[in-house]
């Protein structure tokens, strides 16, 4: 997950590949409860791993269900409508509404001695309509705190099922869902009728419930959206195996991605959800198809390619896909005519006022936008590069300084309003024809539904290599490059290349292979370097199956690295490996020749200096704190010897690139150095 203050997306040019989306929360918790209520064993694939599903699983275990986890597969052995024991149980529901409501209904119908509690916020979330309905049915429930709210205590019911059960449908559809899932427990010899009072909201979610009930053997009869009948004799039957669909709202970003950017041979393949999905938001497919996407589908997958280009502007009533429809507003930027989204009043009361947010941020990108109480009209931006910008890369003016040209792409820093969907939608603006980057503020807000969204995006998108930013930090040994580079990488969410480590590993591998570190063995060492099985995992460095993190950090390993690094063939052998670190969304590279040889076109180069005396002193403190005894004089002599070798060698000697900023950090704290580099970097960005 990116927890940086902002994430700069370089201009992206194409998309292809496969992504697997996280599971749907609504489906996950329903499947868990139904698996627990039926007889026998159900194997559940691709369950969402989130706070809410963990709460449900813990409760089911307390009830005596067998739950075995193996990777993304989970096996639930159901209760068969019978509780294993009669001892009182206290359940902790956290803040999981999708666990609290259905469990309350199921436990109230099963009967026992149960207490359900949650976090303070859970005790402010209403449950009165559900409790009223359950009490009418003969369930025994008392409020332990405020009337109408958890915590609750549940006893044994005296079920009265001859009258239709009434439940309100206009506050939360979860109350109806809870009854529909619990009442088959009581339908042995009579039909059970549920009447909805008031207009039922969120109907697609009731569809999910009915659909899953059917997979578990319960065929509910539905009369409009007013009356639901569970037929006499209904009983849960395990489907044996069930796959949790991926989240259809999350799929919308990748469907749009395919329509905008999968113009080559390969499509975007979305694993985990298909056209026959039971989630309402899957109908986003139809809207995207209308705009020009080419979509094919099979069991649990979708493939999306670019069809019409530019996309086609549409006018659409979006009431049935309120969440996914936000994605259409960004697709509209790539269309041939304006797009109008209607009947979206609910956007105004979501995580943020989404009509205002989408309009404001689309305008920042340069688009003309009109909005009303319940509609939004987005005018397109150019989908082809102008000829002048093809021959000469555009010098991008600062957004604030640029004369805002309506109808032309502008560099924009997208505010995300703590709304995951705003962040995910606007990432798609990085495909703009003007080839300008897009800044997404507070990228971690995607964690609400899709913590690894940006990682997923980068895994299926391609940028031209010169668009992927590299910041080089070169300098002599012990100048603090490593610390500075990794801190800046952290602040920007970029990858980090410690090129010195590659020379250290090469020297280690050579010595382990019995080679001396001299010219006579240059070719053999270069061969080793070319095929170095090196992996960086967090703080650890691996050479094949060997963790070499500590072995390469010694003073001796540094000296050995310096020796192999003067050998021209060894340097050449390591070039491709170093350049392969230039990946989305960007790279911080530290070493001696990052700015001069490996990434000569890097947009920011820093040359770090500090006097040998000061560097020796720092290194001395470092070693002493690790309990390694050494003297200042010998350290300084070593540093100067390495400086001399690194600076005087014939190839890629240590020297500042012509266009490098020099930073003498002798008197600077690490924070001040980081701030300086970030300030230089920000000054080069168009935002």
Catalytically active residues are: 323
Told to check if 500 binds ligand DC by CB under 6 A, we report: yes
- Residue of 486, 472, 500, 468 lying closest to 606 (CA atoms): 472
Least CB distance from residue 483 to ligand DC, whole Å?
12
Q: How many CB atoms lie under 10 A from the CB of residue 625? A: 8
Which of residues 157 and 475 has its CB atom nearest to ligand DC in the complex?
A: 475
Which of residues 46 and 646 has its CB atom nearest to ligand DC in the complex?
A: 646
Which of residues 425 and 485 has its CB atom nearest to ligand DC in the complex?
A: 485
Least CB distance from residue 548 to ligand DC, whole Å?
13
Told to check if 442 binds ligand DC by CB under 6 A, we report: no
- Residue of 257, 250, 299 lying closest to 279 (CA atoms): 250
For 27-44, the three-class secondary structure string (H helix, E strand, C coil) is: HHHHHHHHHHHCECEEEE
Of 19-48, binders to ligand DC (CB under 6 A) are: none
Least CB distance from residue 642 to ligand DC, whole Å?
5
CA dist., res. 675 & res. 267, Å (int): 42
Task: Decide: 324 and 252 in contact? Cβ < 8 Å.
Answer: yes
Task: Decide: 532 and 509 in contact? Cβ < 8 Å.
Answer: yes
Q: How many CB atoms lie under 10 A from the CB of residue 661? A: 15
* Helix, strand or coil, per DSSP, at residue 414: strand
Of 604-663, binders to ligand DC (CB under 6 A) are: 642, 646
Q: Given the rule CB under 6 A, which of 61-69, 92-100, 589-597, 673-681 is the region that contacts ligand DC?
A: 589-597
Least CB distance from residue 336 to ligand DC, whole Å?
49
* E strand residue ranges, 464-575: 470-474, 495-498, 534-537, 540-543, 546-547
Contacts of 656 (CB under 8 A, 6+ apart): 474, 595, 605, 607, 662
CA dist., res. 582 & res. 184, Å (int): 57
Helix axes 248-261, 420-427, angle to 10 degrees: 20
Least CB distance from residue 607 to ligand DC, whole Å?
13
Which of residues 172 and 565 has its CB atom nearest to ligand DC in the complex?
A: 565
Tokens of 297: 């589908």
Q: Is the peptide bond prior to 256 cis by the omega test (within 30 degrees of 0)?
A: no
Least CB distance from residue 464 to ligand DC, whole Å?
25
Considering only 247, 323, 361, 593, the residue that binds ligand DC (CB under 6 A) is 593
Told to check if 596 binds ligand DC by CB under 6 A, we report: no
Which of residues 170 and 556 has its CB atom nearest to ligand DC in the complex?
A: 556
* Helix, strand or coil, per DSSP, at residue 327: helix
Burial of 568 (0-12, 13-18, 19+ CB in 10 A): middle
Q: Given the rule CB under 6 A, which of 21-29, 220-228, 556-564, 622-630 is the region that contacts ligand DC?
A: 556-564
Considering only 432, 477, 665, 673, the residue that binds ligand DC (CB under 6 A) is 477
Tokens of 192: 């059970």
List, in sequence order, every residue forming a beta bridge with 349; answer none if it has no partner: none
CA dist., res. 27 & res. 46, Å (int): 11
Least CB distance from residue 629 to ligand DC, whole Å?
21
Told to check if 565 binds ligand DC by CB under 6 A, we report: yes
Least CB distance from residue 478 to ligand DC, whole Å?
7
Told to check if 168 binds ligand DC by CB under 6 A, we report: no
Length, in residues, of the chain: 687
* Helix, strand or coil, per DSSP, at residue 51: helix
Which of residues 206 and 639 has its CB atom nearest to ligand DC in the complex?
A: 639
Considering only 185, 541, 561, 660, the residue that binds ligand DC (CB under 6 A) is 561
Told to check if 503 binds ligand DC by CB under 6 A, we report: yes
Told to check if 591 binds ligand DC by CB under 6 A, we report: yes
Told to check if 16 binds ligand DC by CB under 6 A, we report: no
Q: How many CB atoms lie under 10 A from the CB of residue 173? A: 21
Told to check if 592 binds ligand DC by CB under 6 A, we report: yes
Q: Given the rule CB under 6 A, which of 12-20, 313-321, 420-428, 555-563 is the region that contacts ligand DC?
A: 555-563
Q: Given the rule CB under 6 A, which of 282-290, 339-347, 508-516, 554-562 is the region that contacts ligand DC?
A: 554-562
CA dist., res. 320 & res. 202, Å (int): 9
Q: Given the rule CB under 6 A, which of 182-190, 495-503, 606-614, 655-663 is the region that contacts ligand DC?
A: 495-503
Q: Given the rule CB under 6 A, which of 393-401, 517-525, 590-598, 604-612 is the region that contacts ligand DC?
A: 590-598
Which of residues 420 and 642 has its CB atom nearest to ligand DC in the complex?
A: 642
DSSP H helix total and E strand total for the chain: 22, 33
Which of residues 500 and 586 has its CB atom nearest to ligand DC in the complex?
A: 500
Task: Decide: 510 and 517 in contact? Cβ < 8 Å.
Answer: yes
Strands 6-9 and 438-441, bridge-based pairing? antiparallel
Told to check if 504 binds ligand DC by CB under 6 A, we report: yes
Considering only 250, 277, 339, 499, the residue that binds ligand DC (CB under 6 A) is 499
| Size, binding site for ligand DC by CB under 6 A | 15
Which of residues 197 and 641 has its CB atom nearest to ligand DC in the complex?
A: 641
Which of residues 183 and 598 has its CB atom nearest to ligand DC in the complex?
A: 598
Told to check if 522 binds ligand DC by CB under 6 A, we report: no
CA dist., res. 253 & res. 140, Å (int): 46
Q: Which residue is nearest to ligand DC (CB)?
A: 500
Least CB distance from residue 666 to ligand DC, whole Å?
18
Least CB distance from residue 286 to ligand DC, whole Å?
53
DSSP string, 61-112: HHTT-EEEEETTEEEEE--TT--S--S-EEEE-TT-HHHHHHHHHHHHHH-S
Tokens of 437: 């980057």
Task: Decide: 377 and 338 in contact? Cβ < 8 Å.
Answer: yes
Least CB distance from residue 488 to ligand DC, whole Å?
16
Q: Integer distance in angstroms from the first to the last C-alpha of the chain?
A: 23
CA dist., res. 152 & res. 139, Å (int): 12
Q: Given the rule CB under 6 A, which of 72-80, 99-107, 266-274, 561-569 is the region that contacts ligand DC?
A: 561-569
Least CB distance from residue 120 to ligand DC, whole Å?
51
Which of residues 230 and 541 has its CB atom nearest to ligand DC in the complex?
A: 541
Which of residues 411 and 476 has its CB atom nearest to ligand DC in the complex?
A: 476
Strands 66-70 and 73-77, bridge-based pairing? antiparallel
Binding site for ligand DC (CB under 6 A): 477, 499-500, 503-504, 558, 561-562, 565, 591-594, 642, 646
């Amino acid at each position: 997950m990116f927890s940086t203050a902002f994430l700069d997306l370089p201009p992206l040019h194409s998309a292809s590949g496969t992504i697997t989306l996280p599971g749907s929360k609504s489906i996950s918790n329903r499947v868990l409860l139904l698996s627990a209520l039926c007889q026998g064993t159900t194997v559940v694939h691709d369950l969402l791993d989130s706070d809410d599903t963990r709460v449900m699983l813990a409760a089911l275990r307390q009830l005596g269900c067998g739950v075995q986890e193996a990777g993304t597969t989970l096996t639930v052995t159901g209760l068969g409508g019978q509780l294993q024991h009669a001892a009182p149980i206290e359940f902790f529901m956290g803040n999981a509404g999708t666990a609290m409501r259905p469990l309350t209904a199921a436990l109230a119908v099963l009967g026992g001695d149960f207490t359900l509690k949650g976090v303070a916020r859970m005790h402010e979330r209403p449950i009165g309509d559900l409790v009223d309905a359950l009490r009418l049915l003969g369930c025994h429930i008392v409020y332990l705190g405020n009337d109408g709210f958890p915590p609750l205590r549940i006893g044994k019911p005296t079920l009265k099922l001859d009258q239709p059960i009434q439940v309100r449908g206009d506050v939360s559809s979860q109350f109806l869902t809870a009854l529909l899932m619990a009442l088959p427990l009581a339908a042995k010899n009579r039909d059970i009728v549920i009447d909805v009072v008031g207009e039922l909201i969120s109907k697609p979610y009731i569809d999910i419930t009915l659909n899953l009930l059917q997979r578990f053997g319960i065929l509910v009869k539905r009369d409009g959206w007013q009356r639901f009948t569970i037929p006499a004799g209904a009983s849960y039957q395990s489907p044996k195996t069930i796959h949790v669909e991926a989240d259809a709202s999350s799929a919308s970003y990748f469907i749009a991605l395919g329509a905008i950017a999968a113009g080559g041979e390969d499509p975007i393949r979305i694993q985990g959800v298909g056209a026959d999905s039971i989630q309402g938001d899957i109908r986003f497919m139809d809207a995207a198809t209308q705009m020009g996407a080419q979509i094919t589908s099979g069991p649990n997958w979708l493939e999306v390619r670019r069809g019409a280009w530019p996309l086609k502007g549409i006018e659409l009533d979006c009431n049935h896909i309120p969440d996914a429809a936000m994605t259409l507003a960004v697709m509209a930027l790539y269309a041939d005519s304006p797009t109008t989204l209607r009947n979206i009043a609910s956007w105004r009361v979501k995580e943020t006022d989404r009509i205002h947010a989408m309009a404001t941020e689309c305008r920042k990108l340069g688009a003309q936008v009109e909005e009303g109480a319940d509609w939004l009209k987005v005018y397109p931006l150019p989908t082809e590069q102008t000829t002048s910008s093809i021959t000469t890369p555009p010098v991008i003016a600062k957004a604030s300084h640029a004369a805002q040209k309506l109808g032309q792409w502008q560099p924009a820093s997208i505010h995300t309003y703590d709304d995951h969907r705003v962040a995910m939608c606007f990432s798609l603006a990085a495909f703009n024809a003007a080839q300008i980057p897009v800044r997404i503020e507070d990228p971690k807000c995607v964690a609400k539904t899709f913590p690894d969204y940006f990682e997923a995006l980068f895994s299926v998108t391609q940028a031209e290599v010169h668009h992927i930013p590299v910041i080089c930090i070169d300098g002599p040994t012990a100048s603090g490059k490593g610390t500075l580079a990794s801190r800046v990488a952290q602040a920007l969410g970029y990858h980090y290349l410690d090129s010195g480590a590659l020379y250290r590993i090469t020297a280690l591998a050579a010595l382990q292979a019995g080679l001396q570190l001299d010219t006579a063995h240059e070719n053999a060492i270069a061969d080793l370097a070319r095929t170095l099985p090196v992996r960086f995992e967090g703080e650890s460095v691996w050479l094949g199956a060997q963790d070499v993190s500590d072995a390469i950090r010694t003073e001796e390993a540094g000296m050995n690295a310096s020796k192999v690094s003067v050998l021209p063939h060894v340097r050449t052998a390591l070039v491709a490996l170093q350049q392969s670190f230039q990946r989305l969304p960007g790279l911080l590279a530290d070493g001696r020749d990052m700015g001069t040889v490996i990434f000569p076109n890097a947009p920011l180069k820093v040359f770090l200096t500090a006097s040998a005396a000061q560097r020796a002193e720092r290194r001395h403190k470092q070693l002493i704190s690790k309990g390694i005894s050494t003297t200042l004089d010998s350290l300084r002599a070593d540093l100067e010897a390495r400086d001399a070798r690194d600076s005087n060698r014939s190839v890629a000697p240590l020297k500042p690139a012509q266009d490098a900023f020099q930073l003498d950090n002798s008197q600077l704290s690490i924070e001040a150095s980081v701030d300086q580099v970030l300030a230089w970097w920000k000054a080069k960005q168009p935002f």
